[in-house]
Amino acid sequence: MRFPWLLLCLGVWALCGSAKPTERKERVVREAPLSTREHDDAQSFDYDHDAFLGADEAKSFDQLTPEESKERLGKIVGKIDEDGDGFVTVEELKAWIKFAQKRWIYEDVERQWKGHDLNEDGLVSWEEYKNATYGYIL
């Protein structure tokens, strides 16, 4: 009679001793990548251009002459320098990059919404979504 209880206790003890607590994970991703491009300062500044200017603005900067590029960057720096002291702090630069990324996200959402809202009523029905995503196959 004692042997089954001893075996049961030993099994429970072994099970508890080998159990691993679950990892605590955040529900929200705090740091999303600023660009999908590879980041290598020695080779290319494409990553920094995407993060700093936003993807669409970076494409237009690629087409400018160096003089036009410097002029436009000068105008952007004036917007980044929130306190107007003539210098851009790390905090101001981070705020600008977040602003540029959010602007791109909102513009992309708007573009996607227009592509799915086929009857332009401001709502996306299941039929509109299905047709915009899969075509009229389904």
Amino acid 26: pLDDT: 63
Amino acid 29: pLDDT: 53
Report the candidate in 137, 138, 113 with the shortest Cα–Cα distance to residue 125: 113
Report the candidate in 97, 102, 87, 91 with the shortest Cα–Cα distance to residue 52: 97
pLDDT at 78 over 80: yes
Parse the chain into domains and list their residue ranges. Answer: 37-79, 88-137
Contact, 100 vs 57, CB < 8 A?
yes
List pLDDT tens digits, range 17-73.
666 666 666 655 556 555 566 656 565 666 666 666 666 677 776 777 888 878 887
Instruction: Pick the more confident residue, 46 or 122.
Output: 122
DSSP three-state, residue 40: coil
Q: What is the pTM of this model?
A: 0.47
Amino acid 128: pLDDT: 87
